[in-house]
Homo-oligomer: A and B are copies of this chain.
Amino acid sequence: MTSPTLDSQIRGRLAEAGVRYTNGRQQVVAALVAADGPRSAAELHEQIAGAVPLSSLYRSLAVMADADVLAPHHGTKGVTRYELAEWLAGHHHHLVCVDCGTVDDIELPSRLEATLHDLVDAVADSGDFAAAGHALEVVGRCKACA
């Protein structure tokens, strides 16, 4: 499922970080690529039918996040979900359903994204805080829960 180019970008990045792109890790990445939003260790574990035990899964997620191949997301209570890092998945935002906790990716029209970017710059300038990025979460009810 994972495109050859995406796969080699990831392999390259992991090699730079001195870690291997093993079979199990490829399965995890494939599952994340197939998903349309961040996924937790438990969700991935189920999605790959237990092919990788939870402890290894957690370790792989941590290693790949360290290598900047994955990015953690803390949207809903208690669980950490992971997604492909921005440089692989593209910059985007999230729709978080207040009822079921589902998180979906959204991409803003570039005009709106530019506006948002300016907005964050304006905020960062006005205080002693070095802004490195921003995350916009649109909170509401998804189609299924509406």
Cα(A120)–Cα(B106), bound, Å? 11
**Is B141 touching A130 in the complex (CB atoms < 8 A)?**
yes
Cα(A136)–Cα(B122), bound, Å? 14
Interface 1/0 per residue, A118-134 and B, CB below 8 Å: 01101110011111111
Question: How many of A's residues come within 8 Å of B, CB to CB?
Answer: 40
A129 smallest CB distance to B (angstroms): 5
Cα(A130)–Cα(B143), bound, Å? 8
Residues of B within 8 Å of A130, CB to CB, are: 140-141, 146
**Is A140 touching B132 in the complex (CB atoms < 8 A)?**
yes
A73 smallest CB distance to B (angstroms): 10
